[in-house]
Amino acid sequence: MFVTITFAKVFHSQEVLDILKNIPDMTWTPAILDEFDVVLQSNNRATQDSPSRTANKVRYVGPTPAAFSWLEAESTCMTVKNQVACGSSWAFSAVGALSDNLCFNGNKQKVEYSEQFQISCDTANNGCNAESNYMEKSMWFLKNVGVPTEQCVSYKSGSNSLRGKCPLQCDDGTKLTLVKSKSYENVCMGEESIKNALLFSSLQTQITVYTDLAYYNSGIYQHKYGKVEGHQFLVIVGYGSEDGVNYWVVRNSWGTSWGENGYLRIIRGQNECGIEQECYLQKV
């Protein structure tokens, strides 16, 4: 089952905003944002995983700069998308990280790849109704099957909330050409491992979503108020510090009107909302 969240209608209230504004020592600024719909991953977790899809756990080590962000290092490679009315953040984060990596380590030309193809064709996942442990399965699909460009198969599930049939050709009737990753690794082996892995490319991760995330406008997010609403898959693109507070820079798939132009800064080093529990680096 997926959880449909209409932030402005369901959560946004002046009462909650006032509570957040009166919490001492807040590191982020709450606000009532413009209305938009978003579908989160459910709190359910599948009970079985194929043994063949167990990723290598790799601890990356070495010196790292005090701060690093792909937004600054390769800004032309970075794009914020909007999943709209489909619980497809698992596909947006997986395909987005692959697209990033191919741009960072290729010819520096941004090519958008098709989330829709993975949503429709990845039978290990459940389309718009994905559960909260599908991250590694999405990595397996990109390594073993691959995806075409977004120009070939465009995004449709955001408007109808349907998985759709797996396409056998591009939208215009031409032949599919699939791009794959070479491998993937679980690099969430501590904060330093994540920082080191980020120097190679962006990383797919997930967080537990609480009610107060609906009010995130800017700053360094830390859960302060509300209950668990679901989960969201994201892409870690950098890290830094501000006024002594360490943070990760994370790309969401709720469009550019949310957060800091579609990005979230979240407390680093304490597994805030589970962000440091499991994350994947794709090799291309």
And the tokens for 113? 């790849």
Residue of 198, 201, 43, 195 lying closest to 129 (CA atoms): 43
| pLDDT of res. 41 | 57
And the tokens for 221? 């997010």
Low-confidence ranges of the chain (pLDDT < 50): 1-10, 44-52
And the tokens for 133? 């442990």
Yes or no: say if 19 and 225 are a contact pair by the CB < 8 Å rule: yes
Give the DSSP H/E element, type plus range, for residue 153. Answer: none
Phi then psi for residue 109, to 5 deg, are -100, 125
The tens digit of pLDDT for each residue in 234-273 reads 999 999 999 999 999 999 999 999 999 999 999 999 999 9
Q: Identify any residues that bridge with 183 across adjacent strands, giving them in sequence order.
A: 283
State the Cα–Cα distance between residues 248 and 266, nearest whole angstrom: 5
| pLDDT of res. 11 | 56
196 by DSSP, 3-state: which?
A: helix
Domains and CATH numbers, the chain: 3-43+55-283 (3.90.70.10)
